[in-house]
Amino acid sequence: ETGVTQSPTHLIKTRGQQVTLRCSSQSGHNTVSWYQQALGQGPQFIFQYYREEENGRGNFPPRFSGLQFPNYSSELNVNALELDDSALYLCASSLGSPQQETQYFGPGTRLLVL
Amino acid sequence: AQTVTQSQPEMSVQEAETVTLSCTYDTSENNYYLFWYKQPPSRQMILVIRQEAYKQQNATENRFSVNFQKAAKSFSLKISDSQLGDTAMYFCAFVYSGGGADGLTFGKGTHLIIQP
């Protein structure tokens, strides 16, 4: 166990809806990164938050947004859901810059868009 | 942009055998980190081993070791005395260490099956 938790574990939504996924970092970790893992693929980087500010983003549209709270927990919000958004969403926490420190992953949230 | 390639979609070996998983990457950077992560059916991504590019010595963690060839941009994982619990997806990943916030770049993974 890494100490990173995510909720919910599974979620079913319909196209066009909005969804919020949550992540609780490992104790003391101030950086959170979010990844999307489509079936049969490796995870793809969505964005990263450090001390409540987004400081890095992958190739995802603006309808993917996030927040990081003072306790370093985090949310991923996806608006106007599309069928291709069906995936496993992983969050990972690290102490300081993920470029220097290892990222520890949560168990993920499985999102199905119908 | 960096790319990570894992050319073996699936591998199967007998318990107690040694197995090597391949990974190549493409980058113009000189300072970076490489990782192997394991993802069992439970889905949680678990760090197996980490290698700093500036270190010539190959990283080892118990039964797990890497063969890091920087010039060839190759980073293979060797698992010795394989166990049933090693059955999982294995992902090779890269991150640039020189600043910015690009996140990890992953390969597509290798499904490793350990047969009893």
The 10s digit of each residue's pLDDT in B52-80 is 998 889 999 999 999 999 999 999 999 99
Using the beta-carbon criterion (under 8 Å), do B102 and A100 form an inter-chain contact? no
CA distance A92 to B116: 33
Q: Is residue A11 over pLDDT 90? A: yes
The identity of residue A73, as a single letter, is S
Q: Write the pLDDT tens digit of every residue in B17-29.
A: 999 999 999 998 8
Name the percent of chain B in helix, strand, coil, to the closest 5: 5, 50, 45
Of A74, A94, A91, A75, the C-alpha closest to A30 is: A94
Partner residue opposite B100 with nearest CB, options A1, A56, A107: A56
Q: Are residues A69 and A55 in contact, defined by beta-carbon separation less than 8 angstroms?
A: no
pLDDT at A84: 97
pLDDT at B112: 98
CA distance B31 to B60: 20
Interface of A with B in 64-103 (CB under 8 A): 88, 90, 92, 97-100, 102-103
**Residues above pLDDT 90, as percent of chain B:** 80
pLDDT at B76: 98
Tokens of A34: 């979010």
Partner residue opposite A55 with nearest CB, options B91, B93, B101: B101
Tell me the HSE value of B18 on the side-chain side, using a 13 A CA sphere.
Answer: 8
pLDDT at B100: 64
Best residue of B10, B45, B47, B105 to probe chain A, by most A CBs closer than 10 Å: B45
- H helices then E strands: how many in chain B? 0, 12
Q: Is residue A100 over pLDDT 70? A: no
Tokens of B116: 């009893």
Q: Which chain A residues touch B95 with a CB distance below 8 Å? A: 98-99
Write phi, then psi, for B97 (nearest 5 degrees): -105, 5
Residues 6+ apart with CB under 8 A from A1: B44
Is B107 within 8 Å of chain A by CB? Answer: yes
B73 φψ region: left (φ > 0), alpha (ψ -120 to 50), beta (else): left
Is B15 within 8 Å of chain A by CB? Answer: no
Using the beta-carbon criterion (under 8 Å), do B108 and A40 form an inter-chain contact? yes
